[in-house]
Chains A and B, each alone.
Chain A
Amino acid sequence: MAVIGNYDVAVIGGGHAGIEAAVAAARLGVRTVLFTLSLDAIGNLPCNPSIGGTAKGHLVREIDALGGCMGIAADRTMLQSRMLNTAKGPAVHSLRVQTDRSQYHLYTKQLLEHTEGLDIKQAEIIGINAVNGRVNTVRTKLGAEYEVKAVIVATGTYLGGRIFVGEANYASGPDGTSAATELSESLRQLGLGLRRFKTGTPARVHRRSIDFARLQRQLGDTEIIPFSFMTTEKLENRVECHVAYTNLRTHRVIMDNLHRSPLYAGKIEGIGPRYCPSIEDKVVRFSDKDRHQIFVEPCGMATDEYYLQGMSSSLPEDVQVEMYRTIVGLEKLEIMRPAYAIEYDCVDPLELGASLEHMAVGGLYGAGQFNGTSGYEEAAAQGLVAGINAARKVQGKAPRIFARQESYIGTMIDDLVTKGVSDPYRMMTSRSEYRLYLRQDNADTRLTPLGREIGLVDDTRWERYCAKDKAMIAELERLGKTRIKPEAASAILEHKGLPPLANDILAIELLKRPQICYSDVAEMIGQNDAIDSVLMARIETEIKYDGYIKRQMKQIETMKKQDKTLIPKEFEYHSLSGLRLEAREKLAKIRPLSVGQASRIPGVSPSDIAQLALALAVFRQKSGKSE
């Protein structure tokens, strides 16, 4: 075999993880190559034509704040935007957009093509070679070999991919692409423990076969907040979505044909995501519900394909047709792409460190579905982290660990590498104990300085961030020292049916009252033109939830302290006789970076941690290192 090139970082896969990884590595100045099975599948949205959603929207904003790609790509290709959970409090506001699927592909492909220092190659990687526990080459199906210093595996559902529809099943990637059939074996030879996960997607159907008049309309927001802190142009909704419902007839069709589902017939061994059950799962598990919701979403402006969110299935095609046509408004449905389930290979994320590098194979990183997650946004966030750390490794820099208390990105990675996963992992706001601080509206304050330090935040973004930050601090100061006289407030308070003020009050104190909003206070003390509506909402949240945010900050400080006590890589757990066997085995497998991370491992108790801390002291003294 011939070595035909050499790179610092090779990315395997051109999905959402691969895109962020390749662009981040290249922008950080290392020579990068991205291999994809098909150039026409770059940035594909093989499932729902949408980006964001609860907690996922947080991830997109964090990726953007760090200088990643997904936020801008989503804004550029947006069809409809909605801020979810607006009534449930600022911690859980989440942005979700409908996306033009083919535009998203074209935009991201062009982005890769325009990224300096990044080569894009259509090739199937069938082997990764390592020497002395460190990756050194990758090999393509056509026999070409490339020397590399780091490899990021972002293979999605392609790795060992197998599609199931009813009685039929065959090796395949999503959307009619081919599967990567040989790489799994090479990864096993490197010592990786692979497992099978599965996911599924509903049918794509023709617009003309839907009776929209019989469905509920779902409109976008009138005022659209973009994903990217860099998007300044006004965004407009271009489509409507609709809601339909299954009924008892639908459920009967499913129950009558359950034996023909590969999942129920025992043909699928992969573990599916709990949050994304197929319609047959929903009907079986929640048999008391007489209807389930379906969202009818357009796939793009240049196509008549529609997506039926909530109806993923692996039933045979004839059953799918019968089942879908029981639904009011879908009686004449024409299926263009049938629903299917797909099984694929992935790694146990407990084999990875918090940098996403494999603990036994130096220079080998994983991102996205390969790491046991599910979702475009989860994948993109990990791709960004893997890209950053692969580049840093090549450059001889220490890895950049994203702390749990700093971001949803950090929370997700900490969960993956500390607790592991039992089914495909989806980000949720309930996974973060710090969600009043980790909001989507302050992602830039939390992460843009870090992105700048890493080297992904360019001057334009940095200047815009600094100006905005300055304006916000100045406004908080103004509110903190401007006193409002009772007569200045009386008209507004009376209008709201509130009692008048007895004495002067600081603007910031008045704003803490639940019934008072920023615009009321601004009317009393004068408008500040530097503050736009997004910043207004942010300031209001910071002030109103101050007590709760401070409460979280206190917990965060405690956590930071624990995270500072590092555990050396070479630390030996098996000699710790004071620890219970379960704790020892888990620690040895997961190899936590710090006492803080160790304390989050399920099955490791506080007294195990006390023991560990002491053993570390002993270890340090023996090896002659002081803290």
Chain B
Amino acid sequence: MALYGHFIHRGKVIDDGMMLGFRAPASYTGEDVVEFSCHGSEVVSGMLLSACIECGAAPAGPGEFTRRAFLNGRISLTQAEAVMDLVASSSRQAAAAAESALEGALYRKIQEIEESLVTLAGHLAACVDFPEEDVEELTAQEFARVSRQARAELAALVENYDRGMVIKRGVRAAIVGSPNVGKSTLFNVMSGFERAIVTPVAGTTRDVVREQIQVGGIQLLLSDTAGLHQTEDVVEAEGIRRSEAEMEQAALLIAVYDGSQPLDVAGRALAESCAGKPAVAVINKSDLGTMIDVAELLPWFAEAVVVSANERDTAETIEQAILRLLKLNDMDTDAAMLANQRQLRAAEAALMALDDADAALMAGYTLDAAGVCLEDALSALKELSGENVAEAVIDEVFSAFCVGK
């Protein structure tokens, strides 16, 4: 079964795409399976994935599909052997990735949160398992204090996730606008060299030109596109079609206007198509006069700047606007960041479990109920390091408390 349509989440269209449905047992895993196909942008697929997770889906573990297929008796000998090789190689990659993450700030941060929770769980276990020893009683207040602190740190990690993704994977940005507003000139200014051909003739750029640039520590995959307008020229029309596709896929739009001319119908149409997307309006050619006011564009754009391609600080001005838009100007790039959906999922699961622990205490439940939630939080975090929770807690009991007959 195949369907074509829109992916709608919370009333908003994410993208249009395909859904393929496989009824059990006629699927890879032998269970009911749906596959979504969407456009290739990181942002779109990320949004779709987040929407699925919000609706109750969970990211697959390494080799999980194949494991399920095996558990449901769907795998043949040759298939199994082929997939095994694949899993083996991807798990080696995953291991390498994990190793590098282990050295990073994220590992230290998670470790820090984990340590505070293990200390708490160890204290609870010491009180519970050695009630007759003179272990200082753990109060609900102390429990709540530590667990809330950990919760706040996890929440910060989760909130930083999207921003972290931007830094890690880079952003696809497209320079768009009407012909002859100076898109290619700005493109070259931002690239730092004469990458695109620039002439005073409208419609010079007929295909998409790309360049990888660094903006405040972020990778920007910047593309220069053909100017948008009605044309009879077959080649230029194809260029415009490609511009539109580029706009569709970009996670960031840089809409360029000729500031020496008043805002026209095409400019308004461009503004409308940018509405609701991460987009910066660049009002160019300020040296030739300012017929467009920043305020005029702000209904559609979160950021609008006035520049002249000939001035020295043009690139800097645009870059700052981009960073503000992506809320990255105050970002510490050395700070801990979750690196992928699985880590995000683990952090979110831990966060939810800590919320449950808090709710248990607030509702007047005994510490054992809150303790079970605390351990769920720890298990979620330990999934990242692969250690065993019970052992960690018990080690804590014996190293921190003088207990035993």
Contact = CB atoms under 8 A, between A and B. Distances in A.
A515 B127 CA distance: 24
B63 A611 contact: yes
A92 B402 contact: no
A609 B388 CA distance: 16
B218 to A, nearest CB: 32
A616 B70 contact: yes
A282 B70 contact: no
A295 interface: yes
Contacts of B66: 610, 613-614
Nearest to A627: B73
23 contacts: A54-B128, A84-B131, A85-B128, A88-B128, A90-B366, A91-B368, A274-B398, A295-B132, A419-B391, A429-B128, A430-B125, A430-B129, A548-B369, A552-B372, A607-B63, A607-B94, A609-B67, A610-B61, A610-B91, A613-B63, A613-B71, A617-B70, A627-B73
B56 interface: no
A286 B391 contact: no
A55 interface: yes
**Which of A89, A273, A600: most chain B CB closer than 10 A?**
A89
Could you say which of A54, A87, A578, A622 has the most chain B C-beta atoms within 10 Å of its C-beta? A578
Contacts of B133: 293
Contact of A54 (B85, B131, B391): B131
Interface of B: 61-64, 66-67, 70-71, 73, 75-77, 80-81, 83-85, 87-88, 91, 94-95, 121, 125, 127-134, 360, 363-369, 372-373, 375-376, 379, 386, 388-391, 393-394, 397-398, 402-405
A431 interface: yes
Interface of A: 48, 54-55, 84-85, 87-92, 94, 273-277, 282, 285-286, 289, 292-293, 295, 309-310, 312, 419, 428-431, 433, 435-436, 514-515, 544-545, 548, 551-552, 565, 577-578, 600, 602, 605-607, 609-611, 613-618, 621-622, 626-627
A103 to B, nearest CB: 22
A578 B91 contact: yes
B161 to A, nearest CB: 22
Contacts of A618: 77, 80-81, 84
Nearest to A437: B372
B67 to A, nearest CB: 5
A431 B391 CA distance: 8
A368 B131 CA distance: 25
Given A84-B132, A292-B402, A430-B125, 15 more contacts: A55-B129, A90-B368, A293-B132, A436-B368, A514-B363, A514-B365, A551-B372, A551-B376, A602-B391, A606-B63, A610-B91, A614-B75, A618-B84, A621-B76, A622-B77
Given A88-B127, A309-B405, A428 B394 contact: yes
Nearest to A434: B372
A436 B372 contact: yes
B66 to A, nearest CB: 6
Give 10 nearest A-B pairs by CB, closest first. Answer: A610-B63, A89-B366, A89-B368, A578-B88, A514-B364, A607-B91, A430-B125, A91-B368, A286-B402, A607-B62
Nearest to B365: A514
A430 B390 CA distance: 7
Contacts of A607: 62-63, 87, 91, 94-95
Given A92-B368, A293-B132, A607-B62, A275 B398 contact: yes
Contacts of B364: 514-515
A614 B369 CA distance: 38
B372 A435 contact: yes
Nearest to A283: B402
Contacts of A548: 360, 365, 369, 372-373
Contacts of B87: 578, 607, 610-611, 614
A514 B370 CA distance: 14
Nearest to A432: B390
Nearest to B402: A286
Given A89-B369, A617-B70, A428 B80 contact: no
Given A430-B394, A602-B388, A614-B75, A88 B129 contact: no
Contacts of A609: 67
Nearest to B366: A89
B129 A614 contact: no
Contact of B61 (A55, A428, A606): A606
A199 to B, nearest CB: 11
A430 B365 contact: no
B372 A91 contact: yes
Contacts of B64: 610
A310 B130 CA distance: 12
B73 A436 contact: no
Contacts of B393: 430
Nearest to A603: B386
Contacts of A552: 372
A276 B133 CA distance: 12
Given A91-B368, A606-B62, A614-B66, A433 B360 contact: no
Nearest to A600: B388
A614 B67 contact: yes
Contacts of A605: 386
B129 A610 contact: no
A276 B71 contact: no
Contacts of B129: 54-55, 428-430
A274 B366 contact: no
A275 B128 contact: no
A627 B70 CA distance: 10
Contacts of B125: 428-430
A47 to B, nearest CB: 8
Contacts of B372: 91, 435-436, 548, 551-552
Nearest to A411: B390
A274 B404 contact: yes
Contacts of A282: 402, 404
Nearest to A245: B134
Contacts of A277: 402, 404
Task: Output the residue of A84, A435, A611, A627 with the most chain B CB within 10 A.
Answer: A611
